[in-house]
């Protein structure tokens, strides 16, 4: 459950040219990198109980999907990490505030990710 001081994010690698195992490798790298942040409350793989349409399962986890819970003031650090590590790869980022409002973002480059960061900030403030 999300508390009032956090934002829930779902991160997905959406490159259609990547095999499922390559997506899994990216998610494992992302999870390890994000887990090192003191700014992230929780980070984990997305299980089959919350299956988005068109997703595939890999073991008991969904392929290419990761969930994280972050303090709103630390979104900038997370987006910076994503830009540095995965900025030129197609990403889909879904944000959910404690009040249940949601925002879906898609980026294919560092420039788009920077623009989406600004949109995410406005969404969190609003």
Identify the structural domains of the chain with CATH numbers, from first to last. 7-125 (3.30.70)
Q: What is the pLDDT of residues 69-99, one digit of tens each?
A: 988 888 888 888 889 888 888 999 999 999 9
Q: Please, which residues bridge with residue 102 across strands?
A: 96
Average pLDDT over residues 8-23: 86
Question: What mean pLDDT is predicted for residues 2-10?
Answer: 74
**pLDDT number for residue 73:** 84
- pTM: predicted TM-score of the whole model, two decimal places: 0.75
Q: Bigger pLDDT: 7 or 37? A: 7
Least confident span in 39-43, 57-61, 96-100: 57-61
Per-residue pLDDT, 47:
55
Give me the pLDDT at residue 70, please: 87
Q: In this predicted structure, what is the pLDDT of residue 59?
A: 44
Q: Which helix (H) or strand (E) holds 22?
A: helix 20-35
Return the pLDDT at 58. 44
Percent share of the chain, pLDDT over 90: 29
């Amino acid at each position: 459950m999300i508390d009032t001081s956090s934002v829930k994010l779902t991160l997905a690698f959406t490159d259609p040219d990547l095999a499922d195992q390559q997506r899994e490798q990216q998610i494992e790298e992302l999870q390890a990198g994000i887990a090192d942040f003191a700014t992230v409350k929780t980070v984990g793989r997305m299980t089959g109980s919350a299956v988005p349409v068109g997703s595939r399962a890999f073991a008991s986890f969904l392929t290419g999907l990761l969930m994280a819970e972050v303090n709103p003031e630390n979104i900038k650090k997370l987006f910076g990490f994503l830009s540095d590590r995965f900025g030129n790869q197609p990403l889909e980022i879904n944000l959910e505030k404690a009040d249940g409002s949601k925002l879906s973002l898609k980026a294919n480059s560092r420039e788009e990710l920077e623009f989406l960061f600004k949109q995410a900030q406005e969404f969190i403030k609003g």
